[in-house]
Amino acid sequence: MMLFRLAASFLSTDSATLLRTASCVLAAATAPLAIELLALTAGSLLPERRRQKHIHPVVPIAPQRLTVVVPAHNEELLLSRCVASLLVDQPPTSSVLVVAHNCTDKTVRVAVESGAEVLVLRDDGRQGKGAALRAGFRHAVAQGAKVLAVVDADSVVAPGFSAAIAEALANGAEAFQARYVAMGGSQANVRLTALGFLGFNVIRPRGRARLGMSAGIFGNGFGLHSSALERVPYEANSVVEDLEYHLRLVDAGIRVAFLQNATVSSEMPQNSAAASSQRARWEGGRLRMARVWLPRLLRRAMARRMILLEPALELACLPLASEVLLLTVCLSLPVPWLRIYAISAFAVILAHVAAAAAESDGGWWDGVRALLSVPRYLVWKLRMLPRTLASSSRNAAWVRTAREAGPSTPATITPIDRNQRPANGVPVRGRFVAGSNKGRR
């Protein structure tokens, strides 16, 4: 009997220790996002730090030789819409440069007929979008561009895009990020993703900007002055090249301004397979960046470079769905302080979602309808966890179509000009495009 009591006491003590340890781990894992959402949601409600001038969206202030780079891979269906939205209110000194990266469809023809300049890039495709942006930036700067912006080929910009860029530059910005939102869809997951876009790409960067921090870069609708590009060359090669480049900018002391008056809207994948692939790439790439950059940022933040503290905190944040799952676990454990913490964190998340819903075209009702699909969305996220972890590996690549293994091939870059025919070219309505078939992405 004495032995039984001793064993029961040991097991009881061990279970209590395990529960305390689990509680601390759960709180530590979920605290970064709770703190981030609390600070940035509150910050987004603050008045703007600098009074904005009223600019008529149809008559923008001409920026310094603006070139909008549009990276495109087999985008014949949506490219003309993108180029048309860019040209509609651009000043005469600006231009649109489509980088046709390993295209096998009619992307080049569509770009030319839409009125854009075209740069044909052929390589082994392993560096993905980053290679297209590097080629586009170098070509644009060589042609005299002073300001560079990036808009994805499946996106459209609202009127006033170039005006907002001009205003940011006039206020001293070296880099900028526009409002980046998702076009709505009928599927529940698409509506929820669109709501998440508003939180991640509008509420949070606006909060950072109004708190005096760098807004962030989201890969679409961002840009920079050529002087910033000279200081921090675009050498990002990861599957989340936008996040990687933003970390390099912040590390160099360059803040990204948030353009509240410029909006870029992008198509979201409508089928679950495409959505899963995109989400796994984003979240896996962020996990990889956290492993590489988080220790470095924390060391430098401790060395009195406090501007790096918020980017470090952001890297430590879990995806919102993972946060909700772990907070639900916190509520289920018999630990009073942990339950109070979880309830408080849920309140912060709801406030953040409400702020995002207020930004949507459908208002609060869209937010409520999107939240009804949360349980199914959480199950979907759990099922795609293996793909997310695979995307966080060192050798993960930005993949849109299958690639053949083999040695790397040198890139072929061909500008398409009205008056010059490149070697081995074929005509495209008065302009010419290289006929090389090196590499497919």
Residue 86 corresponds to which amino acid? L
- Domains of the chain by range and CATH? 50-271+408-434 (3.90.550.10), 321-383 (no CATH)
**Closest to 119 in 3D by CA, of 130, 105, 106, 133:** 133
68, β-bridge pairs:
96, 149
Q: Tell me which residue has tokens 């501007």.
A: 307
| pLDDT value of residue 303 | 72
10-residue averages of pLDDT along the chain (441 residues): 47 74 94 96 86 43 79 93 92 90 92 94 76 94 94 94 93 95 69 82 95 93 95 81 87 94 83 57 68 80 76 86 90 94 95 88 64 63 62 50 38 52 36 35 39
Residue 17 structure tokens:
């220790």
| pLDDT value of residue 301 | 75
**Closest to 48 in 3D by CA, of 202, 174, 211, 222:** 211
pTM of the model: 0.78
| pLDDT value of residue 55 | 40
- How far apart (Å, rounded) are the C-alpha atoms in residues 65 and 145? 5
The answer to whether the beta carbons of residues 199 and 355 sit under 8 Å apart is: yes
| pLDDT value of residue 296 | 81
Q: Reduced to 3 states, what is the DSSP secondary structure of residue 177?
A: strand
**Closest to 165 in 3D by CA, of 259, 267, 270:** 259
- Cβ neighbour number for residue 298 with a 10 Å cutoff: 16
Beta strand 95-101 pairing with 117-122: parallel
| pLDDT value of residue 58 | 39
Phi, psi of 308 (to 5 degrees): -90, -5
| pLDDT value of residue 421 | 38
Q: Reduced to 3 states, what is the DSSP secondary structure of residue 328?
A: helix
Using only C-alpha atoms, the chain has a radius of gyration, in whole angstroms, of 24
